[in-house]
Amino acid sequence: MPDYLLTTSPQMAKRHARHSRFQWYGRIAIAISISFMLLMFTAIFVRGTGAFQKTMIAVDVDFAETMIDPKGTRVEMDLKQGNYKPLILAGLQEIIPGVTERKERNALYKLVSGGAVFDLGERVAANPGMIGTTQRVWIAASSEVDLYVKGKVDVESEEAVRRLKDQDIDWVKLLQENGRVKRKFNQVFFTKGDSRSPEMAGILSAALGSFFSLLVCFLIAFPLGILTAVYLEEYAKKSRMTNLIEVNINNLAAVPSIVFGLLGLAVFLNFFNLPRSTPLVGGMVLALMTLPTIIIASRSILRSIPQSTRDAAMGLGASKTQTTFHHVVPLAMPGMLTGTILGMARALGETAPLLMIGMVAFIVDVPKGVTDVATSLPVQIFLWADSPEKGFVELTSAAIMVLLIFLIFMNLFAVYLRRRLERRR
């Protein structure tokens, strides 16, 4: 065999070396990006999973009529606002004897969540028969106790820098010994809105706010974007006007999102007087922001549909519109949907424009429609990350997880739609 055919010949060896070197560069690059991603996900996961569980304390509460409903009217509003604090405190004092001083009593009461009184009020309002009985109820622990039970408080550190004092820790230990502390699934996180105390704060308000905003964004941006792209690509004659429009669309895609927020503030809120802080306006602003992306993506997809497809339909006597909507658009639809969903995924993560139109408010109520005040997932993450209480740290990570899950579902939905549309051909 002649030398030059062998892999060991100098020329060939050099080529092979270059080949394998390049392969290694690629592999290393992939490994680095994957490890960064893993690092990010584990960090979020490790910090965030705690938020899905919360600590509860069992207290025997004497639901005395004199404290809850002294007039005996049993009106729901009154029952909700009954004086439950002394009842809970009394229950706690029973378990932990010897707490009499005012200061100590206050410290003891701080073991349970500040929202516990509202929780009890709601339970009693739902079941007024409880009044006059003594019952063991599981009450949410305060955020500090919750963190301690989850092992996230450094008990070795100096007492002065801790919010949970040595005495509090002794009390919690006593409660634990009595089997009065347990951890359960944190339902509140998925069913409630924001709160000042971490243990009462939930993501639902923000998640629904994001959902409604994206819904509005989709309903506006998708048809507008697709129709614009189809018109510009299939119908419009090349002229100075279409050139101008094209340049402007490209420029708009590069405009920082906060500018769209300012525009929304000036036009939608101040001029049209649409309701502030609502998903309706948020969605409209996000639609403005996503529109250029959708148009550009759709146009490039339309351009990639071969001319022969159009010729085939036109040659059979299909009109321009029939050609476009029977053949070109269906072929382009999977790609256009992908473009739209990518644009919307970006919109889902946007904070800046929403701040401008007031979707940054402290929202406790869960929005029921597009005109209710709401916030959105990224804004909520921003708000929680900015809060001083330690309990919000896990909530922040948990909210990021919810946001990521949202994104994953959107992408899966895009893949599903694409598959379905492609199969139909």
Partner 1 sequence: MEKKMTEETSAQTDALAPIMTARGVDVFYGKKQAIKNVSLDIPENQITALIGPSGCGKSTFLRCFNRMNDTIESCRVTGDIQFAGQDIYAPKVDVVALRSRIGMVFQKANPFPKSIFDNVAYGPRIHGLSESKDHLAEIVVTSLRRAGLYDEVSDRLDEPGTSLSGGQQQRLCIARAIAVDPQIILMDEPCSALDPIATAIIENLMESMKEKYTIVIVTHSMQQAARVSQRTAFFHLGELVESGSTEAIFTNPEQERTQNYISGRIG
Q: Is 245 in the site for partner 1 (CB under 8 A)?
A: no
The reply to whether 237 sits near partner 1 by the rule CB under 8 A is yes
Residue among 251 and 319 whose Cβ is closer to partner 1: 319
Q: Nearest-CA neighbor of 389 among 204, 199, 157?
A: 199
Instruction: Please report how close the Cβ of residue 379 comes to partner 1 at its closest, in angstroms.
Output: 44
Choose one: 326-334, 338-346, 360-368, 408-416; the region binding partner 1 (CB under 8 A): 326-334
The answer to whether 240 contacts partner 1 (rule: CB under 8 A) is no
Of residues 274 and 314, the one with the C-beta less far from partner 1: 314
What's the closest the beta carbon of residue 272 comes to partner 1, in angstroms? 39
Q: In the numeric block, which tokens belong to residue 242?
A: 């279409």
Which is nearer to partner 1, 267 or 314 (by Cβ)?
314
Neighbours of 301 (CB within 10 A): 22
Q: For partner 1, give the closer residue by CB, 8 or 307.
A: 307
- CB 294: neighbour CB atoms within 10 A? 28
Q: Which of 221, 264, 229 is nearest to 353 (CA)?
A: 264
Q: Counting contacts by CB under 8 A, is residue 423 touching partner 1?
A: no
Q: Are 293 and 255 in contact (CB under 8 A)?
A: no
- Residue 318 contacts partner 1 per CB under 8 A: yes
Quickly tell me which residue has 């709401």 as its tokens.
374
* Largest separation between any pair of C-alpha atoms in the chain: 109
Of 36-44, 248-256, 325-333, 366-374, which segment contacts partner 1 by CB under 8 A?
325-333
* CB closer to partner 1, 157 vs 239: 239
Q: Where does this chain touch partner 1 (CB under 8 A) — which range of 224-232, 318-326, 368-376, 399-407?
A: 318-326
Does 23 interact with partner 1 (rule: CB under 8 A)?
no
Tokens of 228: 């614009």
Query: 211 vs 348, 363, 378, CA distance in Å?
Result: 9, 15, 12
Task: Give the number of residues in contact with partner 1, rule: CB under 8 A.
Answer: 20
Interacting positions 105-134 with partner 1 (CB under 8 A) = none
Q: Which residues pair with 380 in a beta bridge?
A: none
**Residue 244: C-alpha distances to residues 250, 303, 361 (Å):** 10, 19, 39
Q: How far is the CB of 315 from partner 1 (least distance, A)?
A: 4
418 binds partner 1 (CB under 8 A): no
Pairwise CA distance, residues 402 & 18, whole Å: 45
Q: Is 179 in the site for partner 1 (CB under 8 A)?
A: no
10 Å Cβ neighbour count for 63? 23
* Least distance in angstroms from the C-beta of 416 to partner 1: 20
Three-state secondary structure call for residue 135 = strand
Binding pattern to partner 1, positions 298-317, x when CB under 8 A? --------x-xxxxxxxxxx
Contact call for residue 238 and partner 1 (CB under 8 A)? yes
Rounded CA-CA distance 188/332 in Å is: 44
Coil, strand or helix at 253: helix
- Strands 181-185 and 53-62, by their bridges, are antiparallel
Question: Which residues of this chain interact with partner 1, rule CB under 8 A?
Answer: 237-238, 306, 308-319, 322, 326-327, 331, 425
